[in-house]
Amino acid sequence: MDKATTSKFVLRRRPTSEKLVDIGFKNIVVAMASMVAVVLFSIFAVVYYESTDSISKYGLRFLFSSAWNPVTDEYGAFTAIYGTLFTSIASLLIAIPLGVGTAIFITENIIPKYIRDVIGIMVELLAAIPSVVLGLWAVFIMEPFIRPFLNMIYEIFGFIPFFGTQPFGAGMMPAILILVVMILPIITSISKDSLNQVPSKLRQAAYGIGASRWTTIFKVIIPAAISGITGGVLLALGRAMGETMAVTMIIGNSNNFSWSIFSPSYTISSMLANQFGEADGSQVSSLMYAAFILMILTLMVNVFAQWVVKKLSLKYQ
Amino acid sequence: MNYPSKKSLTYNPSLIRNIWNKALTIISALFAIISVLPLILVISYVLIKGGSYINIDTLILEPEPPGDDLLSAGGIGPAITGTFIMSIIASFISIPVGVGGGIYLAEYSKSGKFAKFIRFGSNVLAGVPSIIAGVFIYAIIVSTKILFGSMFSGIAGGISLSILMLPTIIKTTDEALKLVSNDMRRAAFGVGASKFTMITNITLPAAFTSISTGILLALARAAGETAPLIFTALFSRYYITSFDDLFYEMGSLSVLIYNFALEPYEAQNQLAWAASFILVIVLLGLNILSRWIGTLGAFSKNKV
């Protein structure tokens, strides 16, 4: 018995080289995984370190002043912060109904599946178009096309401060519209995925007790998918706040604060794209301060998005 | 017995709820059309307007300085090679690191504290605005002249693009490896394979299609990015001729579009449209290719 096992099946002892390869490989992949943390922390540390001069010099005053004067060395990012928040939230308000509505339309069986699939793929391909191309399109095609409509709004509602200046080209409104185009695919595809994950049992139960299609959607399907939809919306908000190229090309880049959505404005990212190249001295540190604010804003939105998805998600077994 | 009339079981289009249903269905269809419209408009303008400026000269010539000669603005050749080179540099950095990180998350520490933190970190990194990546690389590489004294360089541009690719690659590798059945791992261990052999010979090949889908998508995103390049790689009108040129300013399609779209000259604007034609074709091609590879993966999984 003993002889048989030893002669036919020999338990192999692992050679040291194999062990070394195993341990080495594990250490390498641990190091690579840590790179994420290293990069993330160094981004924060570097941007904070570069902006310390400005932070200590201007403090919180930086957030509420819209002065930007390299000659007198006076900097404030109020216009850019307001522009960032206003354009991203306004574009979100337009994109949520459009995106969620589209997601519902392509997850319900209203039209044949292949048409729905085509719409879904087309919306996702929209995300593949680089923002600089969207900016080019916005500058040469979209903005001249919508200008008469904006002028009409200005002539009728011009007494309201929000519409109080003559639209003459680049401005906040075209920037909002191009942001809608950019974040629509994010909201649509994430909403679509979370609507698809709602178990069909819930839908059948709702139909069974006599609910109509849209009662089912509003009272059963959307509440069940709300975590994913909210997560997608928050991700889109983060993307809209950090979006640079298309906005820079169409927003007009002016640091003069105005309530009007037709006047040129700034966002933090467009300010960076515009001025960083030729800035020096305390202007660099002020721009870094603005970049730091942008990072904190997007970080808060992204962390909140992950928290919401975890907290609100219903588990179906 | 007094049943309600049979009518209540037949569809009555004038009921309030049925009218609402119809109206909401039409509204959602309208929203879907509005959402698809920008894609159709942008693609058709880029293909028609951009495509009409494409010829051999635009593809290979170097762009002329704006305003010099209004008849010919040159071409976009250096920008095409620049985008290609910087995408390669970014891939060389981010693919090993991203796939390695994904292997760690999926194979070594499925739910440890560190793994959770790394997953959270890569989600956060994915949300960092691309221009911040540019600012970061400017601060640590360009302004410090750490790369052998060179300031703006194609290498710096490639590194900043790799930061954008990293989170996508880690995430798709992690998820692709998690989908590989545990039976295959046990079988590999059962025949005496070491963990290293198991990963490189069994699970990585099994997850290969999904991982390459993720890599292609990350590459497609990086190749179209402009914001990280405008103050890392800057722009150059010339072809690179030697290895040393990697350490100098490098042009790219996306920065060319940004710079030339804002020029007041018609000829430059035409080059911007031509460049966006090339860029959109390549990026849509990469996206469709990655979708196609994705379906291949699903197919083979069903067979196994």
| Residue B5 pLDDT | 57
Q: pLDDT band at B211, cuts 50/70/90?
A: very high
| Residue B297 pLDDT | 62
Chain A residues whose beta carbon lies within 8 Å of the beta carbon of residue B18: 212
Q: How many CA atoms lie within 13 A of A221 on its CB side?
A: 27
Long-range contacts of B71-78 (CB under 8 A, 24+ apart): B71/B267, B72/B267, B73/B265, B73/B267, B73/B268, B73/B270, B73/B271, B74/B237, B74/B271, B75/B271, B76/B253, B76/B256, B76/B271, B76/B274, B76/B275, B76/B278, B77/B239, B78/B236, B78/B237, B78/B238, B78/B239, B78/B240, B78/B251
Which one of B9, B12, B24, B28 makes the best mutation probe of the A interface by having the most chain A beta carbons within 10 Å?
B28
- Other beta carbons less than 10 A from residue B33's beta carbon: 13
CA distance B177 to chain A (A): 14
Query: Residue holding tokens 């793994």?
Result: B115
Chain B residues whose beta carbon lies within 8 Å of the beta carbon of residue A22: 194-196
| Residue B6 pLDDT | 58
CA distance A159 to chain B (A): 30
Contact across the interface for A301 and B127, Cβ inside 8 Å: yes
Contact across the interface for A36 and B167, Cβ inside 8 Å: yes
**Rounded Cα distance, A26 and B104, in Å:** 7
**Rounded Cα distance, B63 and B255, in Å:** 13
Dihedral sign from CA coordinates of A232, A236, A238, A239: positive
pLDDT per residue as tens, chain A (317 positions): 454 445 566 677 788 888 899 999 999 999 999 999 999 999 999 999 989 988 888 888 888 888 888 778 888 889 999 999 999 999 999 999 999 999 999 998 888 889 988 988 888 888 889 999 999 999 999 999 998 888 888 888 888 888 878 887 888 999 999 999 999 999 999 999 999 989 889 999 999 998 889 999 999 999 999 988 999 999 999 999 999 999 999 998 888 888 888 888 899 999 999 888 777 778 888 999 999 999 999 999 999 988 888 887 766 54
Contact across the interface for A125 and B170, Cβ inside 8 Å: no
Closest alpha carbon within chain A to B130: A242
Cβ(A165)–Cβ(B302) below 8 Å = no
Chain A residues whose beta carbon lies within 8 Å of the beta carbon of residue B190: none
CA distance B187 to chain A (A): 17
Name which of A33, A36, A47 is nearest B132 (Cβ-Cβ). A47
**Rounded Cα distance, A104 and A99, in Å:** 9
Confidence check: pLDDT of B135 > 60:
yes
Contact across the interface for A269 and B105, Cβ inside 8 Å: no
For the ranges A156-165, A274-283, B38-47, B244-253, the one whose mean pLDDT is highest: B38-47
Tell me the two tokens of residue A56: 């200590």
| Residue B4 pLDDT | 56
CA distance B23 to chain A (A): 10
Closest alpha carbon within chain A to B233: A277
Residue B15, C-beta contacts closer than 8 angstroms, at least 6 positions apart:
none
Cβ(B268)–Cβ(A143) below 8 Å = no
Contact across the interface for A98 and B194, Cβ inside 8 Å: no
Contact across the interface for A291 and B132, Cβ inside 8 Å: yes
Name which of B21, B97, B135 is nearest A35 (Cβ-Cβ). B97
Contact across the interface for B29 and A29, Cβ inside 8 Å: no
Closest alpha carbon within chain B to A35: B97
- For residue B38, which of A116, A188, A178 has the smallest C-alpha distance? A178
Strand partners, B150: B147
Residue A71, C-beta contacts closer than 8 angstroms, at least 6 positions apart:
none
Name which of B31, B125, B194 is nearest A98 (Cβ-Cβ). B31
| Residue A31 pLDDT | 94
Task: State percent of chain B over pLDDT 90.
Answer: 53
Q: In this structure, are strands A74-75 and A68-69 parallel, antiparallel, or unpaired?
A: antiparallel
Closest alpha carbon within chain A to B200: A25
Residue B71, C-beta contacts closer than 8 angstroms, at least 6 positions apart:
B267
Give, in order, the Cα–Cα distances in Å from A317 to each of A201, B59, B181, B205: 11, 56, 21, 31
Name which of A21, A33, A295 is nearest B105 (Cβ-Cβ). A33
Which one of A29, A87, A187 makes the best mutation probe of the B interface by having the most chain B beta carbons within 10 Å?
A29
Contact across the interface for A241 and B129, Cβ inside 8 Å: yes
Cβ(A128)–Cβ(B217) below 8 Å = no
Name which of B35, B45, B254 is nearest A132 (Cβ-Cβ). B254
CA distance A228 to chain B (A): 15
Judged by DSSP in three states, B13 sits in: coil
Mean pLDDT of B270-290: 93
Contact across the interface for B100 and A135, Cβ inside 8 Å: no
Confidence check: pLDDT of B301 > 60:
no
**DSSP character string of chain A:** -HHHHHHH-PPPPPPHHHHHHHHHHHHHHHHHHHHHHHHHHHHHHHHHHHHHHHHHHHTTHHHH---EETTTTEE--HHHHHHHHHHHHHHHHHHHHHHHHHHHHHHSSSS-HHHHHHHHHHHHHHTTS-HHHHHHHIIIIIHHHHHHHHHHHHHHHTTSGGG-S---SSSHHHHHHHHHHHHHHHHHHHHHHHHHTS-HHHHHHHHHTT--HHHHIIIIIHHHHHHHHHHHHHHHHHHHHH--HHHHHHSB---S--S-TTS-B--HHHHHHHHSTT--THHHHHHHHHHHHHHHHHHHHHHHHHHHHHHHPPP--
Mean pLDDT of B171-185: 92
CB contacts < 8 A (A, B):
254
Contact across the interface for A132 and B257, Cβ inside 8 Å: yes
Contact across the interface for A295 and B195, Cβ inside 8 Å: no
**Rounded Cα distance, B217 and B100, in Å:** 18
Tell me the two tokens of residue A110: 């209203």
Closest alpha carbon within chain A to B273: A136
Q: Read off the pLDDT of residues B88-123 as tens digits, 9 standing for 90 and up.
A: 999 999 999 999 999 999 999 877 889 999 999 999
Which one of B12, B168, B226 makes the best mutation probe of the A interface by having the most chain A beta carbons within 10 Å?
B226
Which one of B20, B31, B280 makes the best mutation probe of the A interface by having the most chain A beta carbons within 10 Å?
B31
- CA angle in degrees (0–180, nearest 5) for B284-B100-A12: 135
- Other beta carbons less than 10 A from residue A11's beta carbon: 7
Contact across the interface for A298 and B127, Cβ inside 8 Å: yes
| Residue A275 pLDDT | 87
Cβ(B213)–Cβ(B293) below 8 Å = yes
DSSP H helices in chain B: 16-45, 51, 56-60, 77-103, 113-127, 130-137, 154-179, 182-190, 195-197, 204-206, 208-224, 253-261, 266-303
| Residue B299 pLDDT | 47
| Residue B303 pLDDT | 41
Cβ(A265)–Cβ(A258) below 8 Å = yes
Judged by DSSP in three states, B270 sits in: helix
ipTM of the complex: 0.90
Q: Read off the pLDDT of residues B1-13 as tens digits, 9 standing for 90 and up.
A: 555 555 666 777 7
**Rounded Cα distance, A181 and A193, in Å:** 19
Q: How far is CA B73 from the centre of its chain?
A: 29
Give, in order, the Cα–Cα distances in Å from A103 to each of A89, A123, A217, A236: 20, 10, 12, 15
Chain A residues whose beta carbon lies within 8 Å of the beta carbon of residue B163: 39
Chain A residues whose beta carbon lies within 8 Å of the beta carbon of residue B101: 29, 32-33, 35-36
Closest alpha carbon within chain A to B235: A277
Long-range contacts of B138-142 (CB under 8 A, 24+ apart): B138/A276, B138/B231, B138/B232, B139/A46, B139/A47, B139/A50, B139/A288, B140/A42, B140/A46, B141/B232, B142/B231, B142/B232
